[in-house]
Amino acid sequence: MDPRAGTPAQPSDLIDVDAVVGAYYDRTPDLDDPAQRVVFGTSGHRGSSLDGAFNEAHIVATTAAIVEYRSAQGTDGPLFIGRDTHALSLPAWQTALEVLAAAGVEVHVDARDSWTPTPAVSHAILLHNGAATSQGVRVEGPGLADGIVVTPSHNPPRDGGFKYNPPHGGPAGSDATSWIARRANELLRSGVGQVRRVSAETALAADTTRRHDYLTAYVDDLPSVIDIPAIRASGVRIGADPLGGASVEYWGAIAERHGLDLTVVNPQVDPRWSFMTLDWDGKIRMDCSSPSAMASLVRMMQGTAGTAATAPASAPYDLATGNDADSDRHGIVTPDGGLMNPNHYLAVAIQYLFSGARPAWPAGAAIGKTLVSSALIDRVAAALDRRLLEVPVGFKWFVPGLLDGSVGFGGEESAGASFLRTDGTVWTTDKDGIQLALLAAEIQATTGRSPSQLHGELTDRFGESWYARVDAPATLEQKATLGALTPEQVRSTTLAGEAIGAKLTAAPGNGAAIGGLKVATENAWFAARPSGTENVYKIYAESFVSADHLARVQEEARGVVSDALG
C-alpha cells in the first residue's frame, strides 16, 4: 500500500494531456517489442501511447481487422460505437470512424457527440438484434449489429483501450479476439498506410454514419429491469458519483426522467482526473471497488467531508454509488458500512433477486459467478436451491446464459455484473454498473435495509469470510507453466490445516480452462492466475475462519504454486 493511497492527487500525479495525445499520433510502435503489439485481454486491447502500446497505428490496424472479421462472420448490420472520457478515447474513436467509413460500414455514433457507457452500447446492439421482442435476440443472419467501445475501463488516465462486442452484445470471445489481434499485427507489420481511410470530417458527414440516442434508449428502458416506481415512492436519497466517467450525463437524465431523489455528487469531467484520490499503489485509477480510489465519496457518506465547521452531522444520502470510466463497474457506499466489498454486494444482490423479487424469471435460471468470487455466493445459491454456474475469469462466459435466460445473474469479483429484465429476458450481455447501482437503491427501497445491513444478515446465517487478492512475482516462463498446470502437479494434500477437497484447473460450471489453479478446502480456498500484463501472478484467497487464517492460506498458496512450478 502506497503511503499516499486515499489522499487527493497532486499536480505531479497528473498526466500531460497534450503529450499523451501527441504520442498517439507521433509514435510508431516497435513490433519487435511484444508489449507494443496488439494484444486482447479479457476486456480488449489496452496500453499507453507513451509506451508505444496504444497509438494511431494500433487503432487503424485493429479497426481494419474488425472490418474483415465482421465481414467474414456475415455481420452486415450497423456497428454501434461508444467512447469514454479518457484522453486517448476521442482520438481513437475518430481513427476508428475514419477506417469504418472508408470501408462502407454503417456506424451509429452518439447523437449528443458525447460519451457512451459500455452497457448502453451492449443495450443498443441487443435491441437492434431483437431483445425485448417476441422473436428474441438473433446472433446470426443478415442485418445483425455489433459494436466497439473505446475505453480502458478503470485504468489510469495515460491509458487507452479498444474492445469489440459481436452481435451477442457482450465481450468478444477468444476465438474472435485472437483472430482480430493476429490480423491487426499482420497489418502493422505490412504497414497501416495500405488501410483505406477518409478524414474525420468526411467520416462524420458520410451517409453511413448515423446518429443514435444511446442515452434516451437506455434511460427510458430502465423500468424494465429495475423497480423504478419503488425507488421513487420510497424517497431513497441517492448520491451518484460517475468518477469523471461516461455515466456523468446518464445519472442526471435518470434523476429527471424517473423523478428520483438522486444527486450527481461530482459532475466533473477531466481527462487528468485531478479530483481523484490515489489508488492503493499511488496511481490515479477510477476503480469504484477500491476504498482508496473511492475515499472522497466514503468520507462524504461518513459525514467527514469539508471542514469541521461545515461537515454534515449525518450522511447526506441514504446510499451512494460510483462507476468506473466506462460505467461497467459499480461501487456501493452505505452510511453504516462504508464501501462494500464487491463480493459482499454480489451476494446481497443474488439473495434479493432470487428470493421473490423477480417472480417472472425462469424457474431454472442459474446464478453465475467467476471462480475467484466469494464462496459466500456458493452458500447463498445452495440455500436458494439454485444452480451455481462457476466459470473462469471473464464476463464473456455469462453471455450465452444471459441471452437465453438460463442464467439470471452473472457477476465478477471485480464489481462487474448484469442480470435479466423483470420479464426474464436479456438486458445487457456486458457488465452494467448503472444497473447494479440502481439495484442497490431498489433493495433499500423495498426492504427498508441497506445492502450492508443485509450482508450482515447473510454472515449471521452463513458465516463471516475474509477475502483478499495479492500479487507475487513470476517470470514469463513461470506464468506459462502456471497457465498450463494440471491438478496432478499439485502435490500438497492440506491447506492451512485443512484437507484439500478440490484441485481445479478447469471451471466446474462449463469445463473451460481457468488458465491457472484453484485449490479448496471446507472453509477456505485460493486461486492463482498469471497476469496478462505484468510479470506477476495473482493470488485470490478466502477464509471462513479468520483474518489470520486467510494470511496463512495466502502464505501456503505461494508455497503450493512455487512447488508446482518447480
Catalytic site residue from 49, 153, 247, 374: 153
> Do 270 and 294 meet the contact criterion of CB atoms below 8 Å apart?
no
> Grid coordinates standing for 72?
467474414
Sheet with 319-323, edge to edge strand ranges: 262-264, 238-241, 319-323, 330-334, 338-339
Alpha-helical segments (H) within 222-276: 228-234, 248-258
Nearest to 174 by CA among 404, 400, 396, 485: 396
H-helix or E-strand containing 447? helix 433-447
> Do 261 and 236 meet the contact criterion of CB atoms below 8 Å apart?
yes
Amino acid, single-letter form, for residue 496: A
Rounded Cα distance between 428 and 367, Å, is 16
Q: What is the DSSP string of 265-291?
A: S-----TT-TTPBP-TTSS----TT-T
Handedness of CA 120, 121, 122, 123 (dihedral sign): positive
Nearest to 417 by CA among 430, 407, 401, 406: 430
> Do 339 and 354 meet the contact criterion of CB atoms below 8 Å apart?
no
> Grid coordinates standing for 93?
474513436
DSSP state of 200: H
Nearest to 478 by CA among 530, 513, 519: 530
Amino acid, single-letter form, for residue 172: A
User: Which residue is listed with cell 498526466?
Assistant: 15
DSSP state of 420: -
* Burial class (CB within 10 angstroms; exposed 0-12, middle 13-18, buried 19+) of 7: middle
Amino acid, single-letter form, for residue 398: F
Non-local (6+) Cβ contacts of 139 within 8 A are: 129, 166, 167, 168, 403
Rounded Cα distance between 38 and 479, Å, is 20
H-helix or E-strand containing 193? none
What does each C-alpha distance from 125 to 132, 147, 363, 445, 548 come to in angstroms? 12, 7, 27, 31, 47
Rounded Cα distance between 513 and 511, Å, is 7
**What burial letters (b/e) apply to 532-565, b meaning 16+ CB within 10 Å?**
eeeeebbbbbbbbbeeebbebbbebbeebbeebb
Catalytic (active site) residue 374: no
| Catalytic residue annotation | 153
